Structure 1
């Protein structure tokens, strides 16, 4: 019950500022048609209810399961299994990410279908999946995240030189949308679970940084998509 109350307060604090600003603008500057403004208020209500249910689902289901999976995988003592399930979980969670679907639909609309929604979603999901698998390898072998980030962004700037200009901003936006409300909690919980078991390492040191790594994958995959389509 306390968790529900905290979630409701958190959502209200998130939504209320934008609702207040739009309301002030409505009655001072923009003066939208009454029907449009009422649609906005109804939309705010729906978003609030949806976010409350969504966050409750994340806290009750996704986070505990992510940590349990992360804790169980290292006990198998099979590196390939840790990497495989890191890849698969990164793939399916990204496909389900609402932010990725919003971006892909907007890109398809703006490009007049030149970049299909399904292709962009799959590219972003594969990019995240590959780098979540790399993150699992980093945790197991205690590789410094600095080296992986340096190589990753080095490849990004190299590919950007050969990619049509229209794909560069899309690629960086694709990296941004993977830090959404579904992907972040699950991947972080997975990383913390793995890090808490492997070699007795502290979860605070090795469990974090997964989102930074996961964000590189979509940028690279969309840039490669640009090279292919371009």
Structure 2
């Protein structure tokens, strides 16, 4: 019950500022049509209810399951199993990410269908999956994340020089949308589970940095997509 109450107040505090700002603008500068403003208020209520249910689902289901899966995979002591399922889970959770679908829809509209939604979603999902698998390797072998980030972003800037200009902003936006409310909790929980078994509870902080690595994957994959389509 306390968890539900805390979640409700968390959502209210999150959406209240934007609601107040738009309300003030409505009656001072913007003066939107009253129908549009009422639709906005209805949308705020729907978003609030949706966020409450979503966050409760994350806390009740996604986080515990992600950590348990990570622990169970680590107990197999087989590196290829951990990396393989890290890749698979990274792909499927990205495909389910709402932000990725919103971005693919907008890009499909702007490009007049030149960049198909399905291809973009697949490229982003594969990029995240590959780098989640790489993050599992990093946790297992205690690789310094600075080296991986330096290599990843160095490759990004190198590829950007050979990619059509219109794909560069799309690629970085693709990296941003993978840090959405579905992907981040699950990936972090998965990393906590792997780190807690492979290197002890004191090393659970090694799960942090997974999101940074996972964000590199879609940037690289969309840049490669740009090279192919370009």
Q: Please tell me the TM-score bracket, short chain as reference.
A: over 0.9
Structure 2 unmatched ranges of 5 or more: none
- The equivalent residue for 1:9 is 9
Tell me the matched-pair count: 230
Q: Structure 1 runs of 4+ off > 2 angstroms?
A: 199-205
Q: How far apart, in 1, do the equivalents of 2:29 and 2:203 lie?
A: 50
- The equivalent residue for 2:220 is 220
- The equivalent residue for 2:18 is 18
Within 5 Å, which residues of 2 pair with 1:4-83?
A: 4-83=4-83
Q: Report the aligned-residue RMSD.
A: 0.8
Within 5 Å, which residues of 2 pair with 1:50-199?
A: 50-199=50-199
Q: How far apart, in 2, do the equivalents of 1:173 and 1:114 lie?
A: 18
Q: How far apart, in 2, do the equivalents of 1:59 and 1:14 lie?
A: 17
TM score, norm. by length of structure 1: 0.98
Q: Is the 8 A contact 1:196 1:202 kept in 2?
A: yes
Q: How far apart, in 2, do the equivalents of 1:151 and 1:200 lie?
A: 28
TM score, norm. by length of structure 2: 0.98
SS at match of 1:202: helix
Structure 1 unmatched ranges of 5 or more: none
Q: Is the 8 A contact 2:192 2:205 kept in 1?
A: no
SS at match of 1:28: helix
Q: Is the 8 A contact 1:193 1:203 kept in 2?
A: no
